[in-house]
Structure 1
Amino acid sequence: MTRDPIVKIVTANALIEGDVVYLTAAGGWTRHLAQAAPFADKTQAEAALASAAQRGHEVVGCHLADARQTPQGLDPAHFREDFRRRGPSNYVHGKQAAA
């Protein structure tokens, strides 16, 4: 049994709404993990992170996160990132209310 490869993605929080966002291959931000740009190369991932971190007028808290590249698309490799994309856990609102 082989494991799905781990890649890096750039993630942050949207400055105004606070939603989790992901850097796309086109250099924009998306709220959908499936549209995130995966980086297999650590140097490229770090360069993308450095560039994204300079966009403080759009996002805060830029960091690299691990994701698994599965046949169905990207999935968080760590429960923390899966938890982040679902939003606050103290009460149901926003994204949780729609689910």
Structure 2
Amino acid sequence: MSKKTDSLKIVTANRLREGDVVYLTDSGKWSIHLNESRASRDPAAIDAMLAEAAADVAARRIVAPYAMEVSEVDGILQPLSAREIIRAAGPTVRADYRQQENDARSRAA
């Protein structure tokens, strides 16, 4: 039987191509929506999620996966640290700048 920890954790990373913050879901896909993520208090389950993420790193889908602590409030997952609150809120750069950069890359290719 696995030992339980006090903290609820999910696995997060960044999508390699766009840099978006993503979260590992129950289906093994990556979502930009934190509340779609798979959460666990079981250290073995968290290790298994990190192993799943490592395969996606090897496939060059994501970078820098790690487990982060969350709390569940009324069925909604909430990040606990200031860093994760900022990451979950979305890009801190205006979307039109990002689109201009993508357009410039397309023209250069």
Does 1:87 pair with 2:84? no
Over the residues paired in the alignment, what is the CA RMSD in angstroms? 1.8
C-alpha contact (below 8 Å) 1:8/1:42 kept by paired residues:
no
Q: Following superposition of structure 1 onto structure 2, how do residues 9-48 of structure 1 map, counting pairs within 5 Å?
A: 9-48=10-49
More RCO (CA 8 Å, sep 6+)? 1
Identity between Structure 1 and Structure 2 (%): 36
After TM superposition, where is structure 1 displaced by more than 6 Å over at least 4 residues in a row?
A: none
Where does the alignment leave 5 or more consecutive residues of structure 1 unmatched? Answer: none
User: Comparing both structures, which one devotes a greater share of its residues to helix?
Assistant: 2
**Per-residue deviation at 1:48?**
0.8
Partner amino acid for 1:83? I
Task: Quote the offset at 1:72 in angstroms.
Answer: 4.0
| TM value normalised by structure 1 | 0.80
1:9, 1:36 within 8 Å by CA — same for their partners in 2?
Answer: yes
TM-score normalized by the length of structure 2: 0.73
The SS at the match of 2:27 is: coil
Query: Whose Rg is larger?
Result: 2
Tell me by how many angstroms 1:87 deviates.
2.3
Tell me, which stretches of 5 or more residues in structure 2 are unaligned? Answer: 1-5, 97-109
